[in-house]
Chains A and B, each alone.
Chain A
Amino acid sequence: MLNTNLTHVLSEQEHAKLLQENENVMICCGRMGPMCIPVYEVMEELEGEYTKVKFVDMEFDTADAKVIRNLPQVRGFQGIPFVIYYKNGKVVKATSSIQNREQVTAILDEKFGK
Protein backbone atom coordinates (compact mmCIF):
# COMPACT_ATOMS: atom_id res chain seq x y z
CA MET A 1 0.00 0.00 0.00
CA LEU A 2 1.27 3.48 -0.83
CA ASN A 3 2.46 5.58 2.09
CA THR A 4 0.29 8.65 1.41
CA ASN A 5 -2.64 10.36 3.13
CA LEU A 6 -4.87 9.79 0.09
CA THR A 7 -7.60 7.17 -0.19
CA HIS A 8 -6.01 4.02 -1.63
CA VAL A 9 -7.70 2.02 -4.38
CA LEU A 10 -6.66 -1.57 -3.79
CA SER A 11 -8.62 -3.60 -6.33
CA GLU A 12 -10.37 -3.55 -9.69
CA GLN A 13 -13.70 -3.75 -7.83
CA GLU A 14 -12.86 -0.71 -5.69
CA HIS A 15 -11.87 1.15 -8.83
CA ALA A 16 -15.21 0.36 -10.50
CA LYS A 17 -17.16 1.37 -7.37
CA LEU A 18 -15.20 4.61 -7.13
CA LEU A 19 -16.12 5.60 -10.69
CA GLN A 20 -19.73 4.65 -10.10
CA GLU A 21 -20.06 6.74 -6.95
CA ASN A 22 -18.09 9.86 -7.95
CA GLU A 23 -18.64 12.24 -10.85
CA ASN A 24 -15.08 13.66 -10.85
CA VAL A 25 -12.11 11.45 -10.02
CA MET A 26 -8.35 12.00 -10.15
CA ILE A 27 -6.34 8.82 -9.66
CA CYS A 28 -2.56 8.73 -9.40
CA CYS A 29 -1.14 5.29 -10.18
CA GLY A 30 2.49 5.14 -9.12
CA ARG A 31 5.14 4.09 -6.64
CA MET A 32 6.82 5.78 -3.69
CA GLY A 33 9.46 7.34 -5.92
CA PRO A 34 10.72 10.81 -6.82
CA MET A 35 8.45 11.30 -9.83
CA CYS A 36 5.31 10.19 -7.96
CA ILE A 37 5.68 11.65 -4.45
CA PRO A 38 5.35 15.30 -5.54
CA VAL A 39 2.09 14.44 -7.34
CA TYR A 40 0.62 12.73 -4.24
CA GLU A 41 1.58 15.78 -2.17
CA VAL A 42 -0.15 18.14 -4.61
CA MET A 43 -3.26 15.93 -4.48
CA GLU A 44 -3.25 15.88 -0.67
CA GLU A 45 -3.19 19.67 -0.68
CA LEU A 46 -5.91 20.00 -3.30
CA GLU A 47 -8.34 17.66 -1.52
CA GLY A 48 -9.51 20.52 0.69
CA GLU A 49 -9.82 22.98 -2.20
CA TYR A 50 -11.53 20.84 -4.85
CA THR A 51 -14.32 19.31 -2.83
CA LYS A 52 -16.18 18.08 -5.93
CA VAL A 53 -13.23 15.92 -6.96
CA LYS A 54 -12.31 12.56 -5.42
CA PHE A 55 -8.51 12.25 -5.11
CA VAL A 56 -7.15 8.70 -4.81
CA ASP A 57 -4.00 6.71 -5.47
CA MET A 58 -3.30 3.17 -6.66
CA GLU A 59 -0.11 1.13 -6.47
CA PHE A 60 1.37 0.69 -9.95
CA ASP A 61 2.92 -2.72 -9.32
CA THR A 62 -0.26 -4.59 -8.39
CA ALA A 63 -2.14 -6.91 -10.71
CA ASP A 64 -5.36 -4.92 -10.32
CA ALA A 65 -3.65 -1.75 -11.51
CA LYS A 66 -4.15 -3.17 -14.99
CA VAL A 67 -7.35 -1.11 -15.01
CA ILE A 68 -5.03 1.87 -15.38
CA ARG A 69 -2.06 0.31 -17.18
CA ASN A 70 -4.28 -1.13 -19.95
CA LEU A 71 -6.27 2.00 -20.71
CA PRO A 72 -5.96 3.01 -24.38
CA GLN A 73 -5.26 6.56 -23.20
CA VAL A 74 -1.94 5.51 -21.60
CA ARG A 75 -0.55 3.82 -24.70
CA GLY A 76 2.95 5.22 -25.23
CA PHE A 77 3.33 6.21 -21.58
CA GLN A 78 6.81 5.30 -20.32
CA GLY A 79 7.05 7.26 -17.10
CA ILE A 80 5.29 6.95 -13.77
CA PRO A 81 3.01 8.04 -12.31
CA PHE A 82 0.12 7.48 -14.72
CA VAL A 83 -2.49 10.04 -13.66
CA ILE A 84 -6.05 9.59 -14.92
CA TYR A 85 -8.91 12.08 -14.67
CA TYR A 86 -12.43 10.59 -14.95
CA LYS A 87 -15.74 12.39 -15.41
CA ASN A 88 -18.87 10.26 -15.08
CA GLY A 89 -16.70 7.16 -15.39
CA LYS A 90 -15.07 8.24 -18.65
CA VAL A 91 -11.38 9.19 -19.04
CA VAL A 92 -11.17 12.88 -19.88
CA LYS A 93 -7.40 13.31 -19.45
CA ALA A 94 -4.32 11.19 -18.77
CA THR A 95 -0.76 12.32 -17.98
CA SER A 96 2.57 10.54 -17.64
CA SER A 97 5.46 11.35 -15.26
CA ILE A 98 5.77 14.17 -12.72
CA GLN A 99 3.34 17.10 -12.78
CA ASN A 100 3.41 20.22 -10.62
CA ARG A 101 0.53 21.93 -8.84
CA GLU A 102 -0.05 24.42 -11.67
CA GLN A 103 -0.28 21.67 -14.26
CA VAL A 104 -2.67 19.62 -12.12
CA THR A 105 -4.95 22.54 -11.25
CA ALA A 106 -5.08 23.60 -14.91
CA ILE A 107 -6.45 20.16 -15.80
CA LEU A 108 -8.86 20.10 -12.85
CA ASP A 109 -10.21 23.53 -13.77
CA GLU A 110 -10.56 22.67 -17.43
CA LYS A 111 -12.15 19.25 -17.00
CA PHE A 112 -14.15 19.63 -13.78
CA GLY A 113 -14.66 23.39 -13.48
CA LYS A 114 -13.32 25.71 -10.79
Chain B
Amino acid sequence: MENHFDLIVVGAGAAGLTAGIYLSRAKVSTLILNEGAVGGQMVLTHEIANYPGVESISGYQLARNMKTQAQKFGCVIKSNIKITNLDLEGGTKSVEVNNKEVYTAHAIILATGGKSRTLGVPGEDKFKGKGISYCATCDGDFFQDKEIIVVGGGNSALEEAVSLTKYASKVTIIHQFDNFQALEHYVEEAKNNSKINFIMESKIIEFAGDESLKKVRIQNQATQEITEMIVDGVFIFIGYVPNTEKIGGKVALNNYGEIIVDKNMATNIAGIYAAGDSIAKRYRQVTTAVADGTIAALSASEYINNIKKELHLVSTN
Protein backbone atom coordinates (compact mmCIF):
# COMPACT_ATOMS: atom_id res chain seq x y z
CA MET B 1 0.00 0.00 0.00
CA GLU B 2 1.57 3.22 -1.21
CA ASN B 3 0.10 5.32 1.60
CA HIS B 4 0.86 2.90 4.43
CA PHE B 5 3.96 3.38 6.54
CA ASP B 6 5.22 1.75 9.73
CA LEU B 7 5.08 5.14 11.40
CA ILE B 8 3.90 8.68 10.70
CA VAL B 9 5.52 11.65 12.38
CA VAL B 10 3.32 14.74 12.53
CA GLY B 11 5.63 17.74 12.51
CA ALA B 12 9.08 18.43 11.07
CA GLY B 13 10.83 20.45 13.73
CA ALA B 14 13.87 19.24 15.63
CA ALA B 15 11.91 16.47 17.42
CA GLY B 16 10.11 15.21 14.31
CA LEU B 17 13.19 15.23 12.10
CA THR B 18 15.25 13.44 14.75
CA ALA B 19 12.57 10.76 15.02
CA GLY B 20 12.63 10.51 11.23
CA ILE B 21 16.41 10.02 11.22
CA TYR B 22 16.38 7.31 13.92
CA LEU B 23 13.42 5.40 12.51
CA SER B 24 14.46 5.49 8.86
CA ARG B 25 17.99 4.42 9.76
CA ALA B 26 16.45 1.47 11.65
CA LYS B 27 14.53 0.56 8.46
CA VAL B 28 11.19 1.55 9.93
CA SER B 29 9.31 3.05 6.99
CA THR B 30 8.54 6.60 8.08
CA LEU B 31 6.49 9.48 6.70
CA ILE B 32 6.78 12.97 8.14
CA LEU B 33 3.76 15.22 7.54
CA ASN B 34 4.33 18.88 8.28
CA GLU B 35 1.89 21.77 8.11
CA GLY B 36 4.44 24.56 7.77
CA ALA B 37 8.05 24.95 6.72
CA VAL B 38 10.52 22.23 7.71
CA GLY B 39 12.42 23.13 10.88
CA GLY B 40 9.61 24.52 13.02
CA GLN B 41 10.71 26.93 15.73
CA MET B 42 14.35 26.08 14.91
CA VAL B 43 14.29 28.25 11.76
CA LEU B 44 13.22 31.21 13.90
CA THR B 45 16.70 31.23 15.43
CA HIS B 46 19.33 33.16 13.53
CA GLU B 47 22.27 31.60 15.34
CA ILE B 48 22.45 28.44 17.41
CA ALA B 49 25.67 28.46 19.41
CA ASN B 50 24.90 25.86 22.08
CA TYR B 51 24.19 22.76 20.02
CA PRO B 52 26.90 20.32 21.17
CA GLY B 53 29.54 19.63 18.55
CA VAL B 54 28.48 22.56 16.37
CA GLU B 55 30.14 25.85 17.31
CA SER B 56 27.71 28.06 15.43
CA ILE B 57 25.00 27.40 12.86
CA SER B 58 21.82 29.12 11.71
CA GLY B 59 18.59 27.44 12.70
CA TYR B 60 17.69 27.25 9.02
CA GLN B 61 20.90 25.40 8.13
CA LEU B 62 20.58 22.99 11.05
CA ALA B 63 17.00 22.22 9.97
CA ARG B 64 18.13 21.66 6.39
CA ASN B 65 20.92 19.34 7.57
CA MET B 66 18.47 17.31 9.66
CA LYS B 67 16.00 17.11 6.76
CA THR B 68 18.69 15.91 4.33
CA GLN B 69 19.96 13.40 6.88
CA ALA B 70 16.47 11.94 7.36
CA GLN B 71 15.82 11.77 3.61
CA LYS B 72 19.15 10.02 3.01
CA PHE B 73 17.96 7.22 5.29
CA GLY B 74 14.76 6.95 3.25
CA CYS B 75 12.38 9.07 5.31
CA VAL B 76 9.57 10.59 3.22
CA ILE B 77 8.82 14.21 4.10
CA LYS B 78 5.74 16.11 2.95
CA SER B 79 5.65 19.72 4.12
CA ASN B 80 3.22 22.63 3.78
CA ILE B 81 0.27 20.27 3.82
CA LYS B 82 -2.83 20.73 5.95
CA ILE B 83 -3.98 17.92 8.20
CA THR B 84 -7.76 17.62 8.09
CA ASN B 85 -8.31 14.56 10.30
CA LEU B 86 -6.39 12.34 12.70
CA ASP B 87 -7.66 8.90 13.71
CA LEU B 88 -5.44 7.77 16.57
CA GLU B 89 -7.42 4.85 17.96
CA GLY B 90 -7.09 1.16 17.07
CA GLY B 91 -4.26 -0.83 15.56
CA THR B 92 -4.08 1.17 12.35
CA LYS B 93 -3.81 4.93 12.76
CA SER B 94 -4.66 7.33 9.94
CA VAL B 95 -3.99 10.92 8.94
CA GLU B 96 -6.05 12.69 6.28
CA VAL B 97 -4.60 15.72 4.52
CA ASN B 98 -6.16 18.56 2.54
CA ASN B 99 -6.13 16.83 -0.85
CA LYS B 100 -8.25 14.02 0.71
CA GLU B 101 -5.27 11.67 0.66
CA VAL B 102 -5.22 9.34 3.69
CA TYR B 103 -1.99 7.94 5.16
CA THR B 104 -2.00 5.00 7.57
CA ALA B 105 0.54 3.58 10.02
CA HIS B 106 0.95 1.28 13.03
CA ALA B 107 2.07 4.19 15.20
CA ILE B 108 2.23 7.98 15.21
CA ILE B 109 4.63 10.43 16.83
CA LEU B 110 3.04 13.82 17.47
CA ALA B 111 5.78 16.43 17.15
CA THR B 112 3.55 19.35 16.31
CA GLY B 113 5.65 21.98 18.10
CA GLY B 114 4.50 25.44 19.06
CA LYS B 115 3.78 28.79 17.50
CA SER B 116 4.08 32.42 18.53
CA ARG B 117 1.14 33.60 20.56
CA THR B 118 -0.74 36.53 19.00
CA LEU B 119 -2.75 39.20 20.82
CA GLY B 120 -5.90 38.41 18.82
CA VAL B 121 -7.20 41.97 18.90
CA PRO B 122 -8.73 44.06 16.08
CA GLY B 123 -6.22 45.28 13.51
CA GLU B 124 -3.51 42.72 14.30
CA ASP B 125 -3.88 40.78 11.04
CA LYS B 126 -4.35 43.92 8.96
CA PHE B 127 -1.12 45.56 10.11
CA LYS B 128 1.11 42.47 10.20
CA GLY B 129 4.14 43.51 8.14
CA LYS B 130 2.82 47.07 8.05
CA GLY B 131 3.89 48.10 11.54
CA ILE B 132 3.31 44.91 13.53
CA SER B 133 6.14 42.40 13.73
CA TYR B 134 7.04 39.24 15.62
CA CYS B 135 10.75 39.28 14.68
CA ALA B 136 13.11 42.03 15.84
CA THR B 137 16.10 40.86 13.81
CA CYS B 138 13.96 40.67 10.65
CA ASP B 139 12.18 44.00 10.82
CA GLY B 140 14.02 46.16 13.38
CA ASP B 141 15.77 48.24 10.74
CA PHE B 142 12.45 49.51 9.34
CA PHE B 143 12.09 51.50 12.56
CA GLN B 144 15.25 53.58 12.51
CA ASP B 145 14.69 56.69 14.72
CA LYS B 146 11.04 55.77 15.19
CA GLU B 147 8.93 55.19 18.28
CA ILE B 148 7.87 51.63 18.89
CA ILE B 149 6.15 49.41 21.43
CA VAL B 150 7.26 45.97 22.61
CA VAL B 151 4.50 43.81 24.07
CA GLY B 152 5.41 41.17 26.65
CA GLY B 153 7.17 40.61 29.94
CA GLY B 154 9.25 37.48 29.43
CA ASN B 155 12.90 36.99 28.48
CA SER B 156 12.29 37.43 24.74
CA ALA B 157 10.33 40.66 25.15
CA LEU B 158 12.91 42.30 27.42
CA GLU B 159 15.92 41.09 25.40
CA GLU B 160 14.41 42.18 22.09
CA ALA B 161 13.33 45.53 23.53
CA VAL B 162 16.96 46.25 24.39
CA SER B 163 18.16 45.09 20.96
CA LEU B 164 15.55 47.29 19.22
CA THR B 165 17.01 50.42 20.88
CA LYS B 166 19.80 50.10 18.26
CA TYR B 167 17.23 51.36 15.76
CA ALA B 168 14.31 53.02 17.53
CA SER B 169 14.42 56.42 19.21
CA LYS B 170 12.05 55.25 21.92
CA VAL B 171 10.83 51.81 23.03
CA THR B 172 7.80 51.42 25.28
CA ILE B 173 7.31 48.02 26.89
CA ILE B 174 3.67 47.21 27.55
CA HIS B 175 3.03 44.32 29.92
CA GLN B 176 -0.26 43.02 31.27
CA PHE B 177 1.01 42.34 34.81
CA ASP B 178 2.64 44.57 37.45
CA ASN B 179 5.87 42.56 37.39
CA PHE B 180 8.01 40.87 34.75
CA GLN B 181 8.43 37.13 34.23
CA ALA B 182 11.87 37.66 32.63
CA LEU B 183 15.09 36.84 34.44
CA GLU B 184 16.37 39.65 36.61
CA HIS B 185 19.35 40.56 34.43
CA TYR B 186 17.09 41.10 31.38
CA VAL B 187 14.85 43.35 33.48
CA GLU B 188 17.83 45.30 34.85
CA GLU B 189 19.29 45.80 31.38
CA ALA B 190 15.98 47.16 30.11
CA LYS B 191 15.48 49.42 33.13
CA ASN B 192 18.98 50.84 32.73
CA ASN B 193 18.41 51.72 29.07
CA SER B 194 17.44 55.39 28.71
CA LYS B 195 15.46 54.74 25.52
CA ILE B 196 13.11 52.29 27.23
CA ASN B 197 10.07 53.15 29.31
CA PHE B 198 7.32 50.96 30.73
CA ILE B 199 3.54 50.77 30.83
CA MET B 200 2.57 48.05 33.28
CA GLU B 201 -0.75 46.31 33.97
CA SER B 202 -1.95 47.25 30.50
CA LYS B 203 -3.00 45.57 27.28
CA ILE B 204 -3.28 46.72 23.69
CA ILE B 205 -6.92 46.31 22.71
CA GLU B 206 -6.84 47.68 19.14
CA PHE B 207 -4.45 48.60 16.32
CA ALA B 208 -5.41 51.43 13.95
CA GLY B 209 -3.94 53.23 10.94
CA ASP B 210 -4.32 53.61 7.21
CA GLU B 211 -1.88 51.85 4.90
CA SER B 212 0.38 51.23 7.90
CA LEU B 213 0.01 51.22 11.68
CA LYS B 214 -0.43 54.67 13.24
CA LYS B 215 -1.78 54.20 16.75
CA VAL B 216 -2.86 51.73 19.40
CA ARG B 217 -5.55 51.76 22.05
CA ILE B 218 -4.32 50.65 25.45
CA GLN B 219 -6.43 49.53 28.39
CA ASN B 220 -5.17 49.68 31.96
CA GLN B 221 -6.08 46.38 33.61
CA ALA B 222 -6.45 47.89 37.09
CA THR B 223 -8.55 50.97 36.26
CA GLN B 224 -10.01 49.86 32.87
CA GLU B 225 -9.06 53.33 31.59
CA ILE B 226 -8.45 53.41 27.81
CA THR B 227 -5.81 55.64 26.25
CA GLU B 228 -4.43 56.06 22.74
CA MET B 229 -0.79 56.14 21.76
CA ILE B 230 0.66 57.30 18.43
CA VAL B 231 3.27 54.74 17.38
CA ASP B 232 5.28 53.66 14.34
CA GLY B 233 5.62 49.98 15.15
CA VAL B 234 4.71 47.23 17.59
CA PHE B 235 6.75 44.09 18.26
CA ILE B 236 4.88 41.27 19.97
CA PHE B 237 6.72 38.70 22.14
CA ILE B 238 4.16 37.04 24.36
CA GLY B 239 5.38 33.47 24.28
CA TYR B 240 4.39 30.32 22.48
CA VAL B 241 1.39 28.04 22.47
CA PRO B 242 1.53 24.32 21.65
CA ASN B 243 0.07 23.27 18.29
CA THR B 244 -2.41 20.83 19.77
CA GLU B 245 -5.80 22.16 18.66
CA LYS B 246 -6.31 19.20 16.33
CA ILE B 247 -5.23 16.71 19.01
CA GLY B 248 -7.38 17.95 21.90
CA GLY B 249 -10.03 15.42 22.84
CA LYS B 250 -8.00 12.63 21.23
CA VAL B 251 -4.94 12.43 23.53
CA ALA B 252 -4.65 13.67 27.10
CA LEU B 253 -3.55 17.31 27.39
CA ASN B 254 -2.78 19.36 30.49
CA ASN B 255 -4.36 22.73 31.32
CA TYR B 256 -1.90 24.51 29.03
CA GLY B 257 -2.87 22.38 26.03
CA GLU B 258 0.39 20.43 26.19
CA ILE B 259 0.46 16.68 25.49
CA ILE B 260 1.00 14.53 28.59
CA VAL B 261 3.64 11.83 28.01
CA ASP B 262 5.47 9.29 30.17
CA LYS B 263 9.24 8.77 30.30
CA ASN B 264 9.03 6.81 27.01
CA MET B 265 7.23 9.71 25.32
CA ALA B 266 4.09 7.56 25.18
CA THR B 267 0.69 9.26 25.41
CA ASN B 268 -2.43 7.73 26.94
CA ILE B 269 -3.22 5.99 23.62
CA ALA B 270 -1.36 2.83 22.60
CA GLY B 271 0.92 3.50 19.63
CA ILE B 272 0.71 7.27 19.95
CA TYR B 273 3.87 9.04 21.09
CA ALA B 274 4.71 12.73 21.37
CA ALA B 275 7.91 14.76 21.40
CA GLY B 276 9.26 18.31 21.31
CA ASP B 277 7.67 21.64 22.18
CA SER B 278 4.10 20.31 22.13
CA ILE B 279 4.59 18.07 25.19
CA ALA B 280 4.30 19.06 28.84
CA LYS B 281 7.82 19.88 29.99
CA ARG B 282 9.83 22.72 31.47
CA TYR B 283 12.71 23.37 29.09
CA ARG B 284 12.18 23.94 25.37
CA GLN B 285 15.47 23.83 23.52
CA VAL B 286 16.64 22.26 20.24
CA THR B 287 18.67 19.81 22.32
CA THR B 288 15.70 18.74 24.44
CA ALA B 289 13.52 18.37 21.33
CA VAL B 290 16.20 16.17 19.77
CA ALA B 291 16.29 14.05 22.94
CA ASP B 292 12.49 13.73 23.00
CA GLY B 293 12.48 12.73 19.32
CA THR B 294 15.10 10.06 19.95
CA ILE B 295 13.21 8.54 22.88
CA ALA B 296 9.90 8.63 21.01
CA ALA B 297 11.49 6.97 17.96
CA LEU B 298 13.08 4.17 19.99
CA SER B 299 9.89 3.56 21.99
CA ALA B 300 7.72 3.58 18.87
CA SER B 301 10.15 1.29 17.08
CA GLU B 302 9.84 -1.28 19.87
CA TYR B 303 6.05 -0.93 19.79
CA ILE B 304 5.94 -1.47 16.02
CA ASN B 305 8.21 -4.48 16.28
CA ASN B 306 5.88 -6.06 18.82
CA ILE B 307 2.85 -5.31 16.64
CA LYS B 308 4.55 -6.92 13.65
CA LYS B 309 5.44 -9.97 15.72
CA GLU B 310 1.80 -10.30 16.70
CA LEU B 311 0.87 -10.04 13.06
CA HIS B 312 3.67 -12.52 12.17
CA LEU B 313 5.19 -9.94 9.87
CA VAL B 314 8.69 -10.43 11.32
CA SER B 315 10.58 -13.51 12.36
CA THR B 316 10.18 -14.37 16.06
CA ASN B 317 13.50 -16.25 16.18
Contact = CB atoms under 8 A, between A and B. Distances in A.
Interface of A: 3, 31-38, 41-42, 45, 75-80, 95-98, 100-102
Contact of A41 (B38, B128, B139, B211): B38
A31 B58 CA distance: 13
Interface string B131-172: 111110111001100000000000000000000000000000
Contacts of A78: 129-131, 133, 139, 142-143, 212-213, 233
Secondary structure of the B contact surface, majority rule: loop
Interface residues of B, number: 33
A33 B46 contact: yes
5 contacts: A34-B45, A78-B130, A78-B233, A97-B128, A97-B139
B44 A34 contact: yes
Contacts of A41: 37-38, 79-80
Nearest to A42: B80
Secondary structure of the A contact surface, majority rule: loop
Contacts of B210: 76
B133 A97 contact: yes
Nearest to A45: B80
B79 A76 contact: no
A34 B156 CA distance: 15
B207 interface: no
Interface string B37-48: 111000111100
B36 interface: yes
Q: Which are the 8 A-B pairs with shortest beta-carbon distances?
A: A97-B129, A96-B129, A79-B129, A38-B37, A76-B212, A76-B211, A34-B44, A78-B142
B22 interface: no
A98 B125 CA distance: 12
Interface in B29-70: 36-39, 43-46, 58-61
Given A79-B139, A80-B138, A37 B128 contact: no
A79 B37 contact: no
A42 to B, nearest CB: 6
Contacts of A35: 134-135, 138-139
Interface in B89-139: 128-135, 137-139
A33 B39 CA distance: 12
Contacts of B27: none
Contacts of B284: none
A37 B139 contact: no
B43 A37 contact: yes
A95 B129 contact: yes
Most buried by A among B46, B80, B233: B80
